[in-house]
Amino acid sequence: MRPIIEINEANFETEVLKSSQPVLVEFATGWSLPSVMFDGAMDEIATEFVEDLKLATVKLDRPRARRRSFPN
């Protein structure tokens, strides 16, 4: 299983926008039930598509000002 990369404003362009592979980005919180439930799905996806897909997560628990730097 390939590791799930934590994305931040410093590595978003390199890891997501300029990636040579398709990237699935999860925007998640540690307290949201859907986010917690999707963590298991991300692990399954990471195992099944290890060669074809890069997985990344943006932790929305970070300060709001930092999240504004991601493109819409």
Q: How does DSSP assign 7-54, residue by residue?
A: P-TTTHIIIIIT-SS-EEEEEE-SS-HHHHHHHHHHHHHHHHTTTT-E
For the chain, domains (ranges, CATH) are 5-62 (3.40.30.10)
Task: Check residue 28 and give its pLDDT.
Answer: 86
Query: Hey, what are 22's tokens?
Result: 């398709």
What is the tens place of the pLDDT at every residue in 4-42?
899 988 899 999 999 999 999 998 888 888 888 888 888
Q: Is the pLDDT of residue 65 over 50?
A: no
What span, in angstroms and rounded, lies between the C-alpha atoms of 36 and 56?
A: 15
> Is 46 within 8 Å of 15 (Cβ atoms)?
no
